Every structure is written in structure tokens, then in C-alpha cells.
């Protein structure tokens, strides 16, 4: 008998994810890597048809993104309204792939930011494991993707010395937008893994010398996370000097007209480009399209790369796939049920999701 369907809010999902330790995070990372690999290794079992959309007379557009791994089937919906400043809202609905029984409904905002940031860690952690140190990182953006990228780095990369967070407006807004880093340069829960880490907030408004400080941060970074829907490069490509090799993650841009970095960088002979999906990135990734790259120029992230590819300059481009939502969403749902069972006699029990009894 299937368990009662469980409804998880953004707050529920944040609670679960923020309480995962490093082994649990790595386990979820492996689940995501396997899901991406199965697109190629299990093509008859994995289904993710092209997204569909409708636009209503009030200016709202809703996207529908179905996926299935045969065992489970999911539909993610996201609604955007260009006439308001409201952030997109969405849900992920997960069913039993055989019986159609509802398993759960998850708010999509935190989940989307988390699974995207998680994907950006696949190659970076392999790179570190192969001996390339990461001591200084730069994160562009202050949204959910940026917050999760920052959180994952602090939890999974010990010994960081400096984290620079770059926003579009003021330094104070950068600090306010990143709850995990609001106590910049103070003791946080991350201090155990990186006790000497310095947090730096950069923003162009009211900051004399911003460009010089940005150039220094980017040029000295071992890893750069770009988490914005930018239509123009976030920094001049000249900032990426030849003094060091680095990892650059491009996860914020997802349409052909968007680009977070100069596409010319992806054409350099000393740069290896990894993607979540060759097919999707050749159609949707502005940096890949702008660079004129072909299928043979790209390596899908689940592949085990050559040692030399990991040692050099690496770019990871992700436009997001429905199967990623299903894989990570199902794991979050599993952990939510597990957490509810552990805390059944605790007041915390009430804070993790809502069951729908007798649904079918």
C-alpha cells in the first residue's frame, strides 16, 4: 500500500536541505549524477518531452515540464508574469509511474535552486579529488541558486580562504539577500570546515573601486559560480588571466539570448566545456550557441573525464532538465517521510509537510 501523499512547502524543503550533513549531500549528488547518466544509458526508461507553455490574457505564462524514470513520473509547472515583479511560482507533482498514485507535491522554488547548484558541484568535486585545490570562490547573484551554491561550497569544500559574493546593487542588499552569509566575517555553522574563511560582499552602487576589486576577486578565484539570468557577460573575459586554471559554473542563464560570460572563452583551446545535456544546451544555452560550439565540443557532466581535462580550465553549463527535478524531488520527498517518522513525538513533526489521507 502506498503511503499517503505528502505536500512540502518551500519552508519544509529548506528545513530538510539545510539539515543535511556532508555525506547526505554527497549521496544526493550521486543520485543526481546517476539520473543524468541514465538519459543516455537507459533511453527507453527515461522520458522528458519538450516543455510546453500557455500564455493567458493577463500576461501570465505557465510552463509544463513532464518527466519519468518509469518508476516515477513527475510534472513540474512554473508560472511567470512579466507584468509584475513577483518571482516565478511553481510546483513539482510526483506520481507512481505504474499505478498513477500521487506520491507528493513539492514547492518548486527552493528545489530548483538546490538541484541546479548541486549539479554545478559534480565536476568541481571531481576536480578537487584529483588534486586541484579550491581556496577562493566567487559567487555572482543573490537568488536561490546563488544561496545554495554558497551553502554547498561551504559544506563540501573544506579549507576555503575567501568567498566573494557579487550583487547588482548595494553591498548591504547583498548581505541581506544571503541569510546564510548575513553575518559576514563572523562565526557561522560553516566555521568548522573553513575556520579561516573571509566573506567579501561586492556591488557596484556606492562602492568606489568596485571594478578593481571585482577584477582582483575574479582573477584570483579557483571557482566562479554565475547564478544570474544575465543577457550580457558579468565581467570582462580579460579578468580570467592565464596565471591559474579555474572552474566556471554557468547556471543562471537558460535562454539563447542570455549569457553570463563572453562566449569567446568557451572557444579557447585550454577550456573544456561540460554540460547537463548536449541537446538542451545546443538549443538553449546562449554561451554555447554564441561560441558556435558543436556536439563534439561538449562533454556531458556524468561522463568520467580525463585527468588532464579536470586539471585545466573547466566550464560547466546547465540549462536545467525535468529529470533533475524528479530525481532530487523524489529524494527530498523520501527524506521528508524519514524525518517525519523520526520526529513523530516531537513538535518539529508538525513543521515538515502535510499528509493527504485517503486521497485515492
Task: Give the 3-state DSSP-derived string for the chain, with helices as H, strands as E and coil as C.
Answer: CCCCCEEECHHHHHHHHHCCCHHHHHHHHHHHHHHHHHHHHCCCCCECCCCEEEECCCCEEEEEEEEECCCEEEEEEEEEECCCCCCCEEEEEEEECCCCCEEEEEECHHHHHHHHHHHCHHHHHHHHHCCCCCCEEEEECCCHHHHHHHHHHHHHCCCCCEEEEECCCCHHHHHHHCHHHCCCCCCCCCCCCCCCCEEEEECCCCCCCHHHHHHHHHHCCCEEEECCCCCCCCCCHHHCCCCCCCEEEECCCCCCCCCCCCCHHHHCCCEEEEECCHHHHHHHCHHHHHHCCCHHHEEECCCCCCHHHHHCEEEEECCCCHHHHHHHHHHHHHHHHHHHHHCCCCHHHHHCCEECCCCC
- 209-260 residue pLDDT tens: 999 999 999 999 999 999 998 999 999 999 999 888 999 999 998 888 999 9
Distances (CA, A) of 184 to 134, 198, 214: 20, 8, 18
* Integer Cα distance of 237 and 357 in angstroms: 55
Distances (CA, A) of 228 to 119, 140, 144, 236: 16, 7, 10, 16
Q: Catalogue all structural domains in the chain, each as residue range(s) with its CATH number.
A: 6-113+322-355 (3.30.1780.10), 121-317 (3.40.50.720)
In this structure, the chain runs to a length of 360
**Per-residue model confidence as pLDDT tens for the chain (360 residues):** 678 999 999 999 999 998 898 999 999 999 999 999 999 899 999 999 888 889 898 888 899 999 999 999 999 999 987 677 677 889 999 999 999 999 999 999 999 999 999 999 999 999 999 889 999 999 999 888 999 999 999 889 989 999 999 998 888 778 776 655 444 444 344 455 677 888 888 998 878 899 999 999 999 999 999 999 899 999 999 999 988 899 999 999 888 899 999 999 999 999 999 999 999 999 999 999 999 999 999 999 888 666 666 788 999 999 999 999 999 999 999 999 998 887 766 666 557 888 888 887
Residue 1: the pLDDT is 65
Angle subtended by helix axes 322-342 and 10-18, to nearest 10: 80
Residue 179: the pLDDT is 54
Residue 349: the pLDDT is 59
> Contact at 8 Å (CB) between 149 and 227?
yes
Residue 327: the pLDDT is 97
> Contact at 8 Å (CB) between 233 and 261?
yes
- Please report where in the chains the cell 577562493 appears, as a residue: 136
> Contact at 8 Å (CB) between 224 and 249?
yes
How far is Cα of residue 245 from the mean position of the Cα atoms in its chain?
A: 22
Residue 316: the pLDDT is 96
Residue 186: the pLDDT is 40
**pTM of the full structure:** 0.90
Distances (CA, A) of 14 to 11, 191, 331, 336: 5, 21, 14, 11
> Contact at 8 Å (CB) between 51 and 134?
no
Pull the grid cell for residue 49. Answer: 518531452
Pull the grid cell for residue 237. Answer: 573575459
Residues 6+ apart with CB under 8 A from 55: 61
Amino acid at each position: 500500500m502506498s503511503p499517503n501523499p505528502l505536500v512540502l512547502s518551500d519552508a519544509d524543503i529548506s528545513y530538510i536541505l539545510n539539515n543535511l550533513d556532508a555525506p547526505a549531500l554527497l549521496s544526493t549528488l550521486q543520485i543526481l549524477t546517476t539520473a543524468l547518466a541514465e538519459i543516455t544509458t537507459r533511453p527507453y526508461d527515461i522520458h522528458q518531452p519538450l516543455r510546453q507553455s500557455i500564455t493567458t490574457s493577463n500576461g501570465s505564462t505557465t510552463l509544463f515540464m513532464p518527466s519519468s524514470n518509469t518508476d516515477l513520473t513527475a510534472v513540474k509547472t512554473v508560472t511567470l508574469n512579466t507584468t509584475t515583479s513577483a518571482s516565478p511560482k511553481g510546483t513539482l507533482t510526483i506520481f507512481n509511474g505504474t499505478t498513477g498514485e500521487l506520491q507528493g507535491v513539492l514547492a518548486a522554488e527552493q528545489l530548483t535552486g538546490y538541484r541546479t547548484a548541486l549539479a554545478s558541484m559534480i565536476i568541481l568535486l571531481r576536480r578537487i579529488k584529483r588534486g586541484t585545490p579550491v581556496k577562493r570562490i566567487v559567487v555572482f547573484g543573490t537568488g536561490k541558486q546563488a544561496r545554495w551554491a554558497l551553502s554547498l561550497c561551504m559544506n563540501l569544500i573544506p579549507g576555503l580562504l575567501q568567498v566573494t559574493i557579487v550583487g547588482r546593487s548595494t553591498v548591504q542588499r547583498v548581505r541581506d539577500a544571503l541569510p546564510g552569509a548575513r553575518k559576514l566575517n563572523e562565526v557561522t555553522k560553516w566555521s568548522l570546515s573553513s575556520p579561516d574563511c573571509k566573506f567579501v560582499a561586492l556591488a557596484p552602487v556606492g562602492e568606489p573601486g568596485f571594478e578593481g576589486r571585482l577584477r582582483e576577486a575574479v582573477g584570483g578565484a579557483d571557482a566562479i559560480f554565475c547564478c544570474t539570468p544575465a543577457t550580457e557577460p558579468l565581467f570582462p573575459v580579460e579578468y580570467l588571466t592565464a596565471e591559474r586554471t579555474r572552474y566556471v559554473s554557468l547556471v543562471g542563464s537558460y535562454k539563447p539570448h542570455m549569457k553570463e560570460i563572453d562566449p569567446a572563452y568557451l572557444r579557447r583551446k585550454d577550456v573544456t566545456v561540460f554540460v547537463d545535456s548536449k541537446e538542451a544546451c545546443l538549443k538553449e544555452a546562449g554561451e554555447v550557441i554564441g561560441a558556435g560550439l558543436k556536439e563534439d565540443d561538449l562533454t556531458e557532466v556524468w561522463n568520467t573525464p580525463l585527468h588532464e581535462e579536470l586539471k585545466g580550465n573547466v566550464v560547466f553549463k546547465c540549462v536545467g532538465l525535468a529529470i533533475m527535478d524528479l530525481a532530487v524531488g523524489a529524494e527530498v520527498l523520501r527524506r521528508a517521510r524519514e524525518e517525519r517518522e523520526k520526529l513523530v513525538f516531537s513538535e518539529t513533526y508538525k513543521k515538515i509537510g502535510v499528509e493527504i489521507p485517503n486521497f485515492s
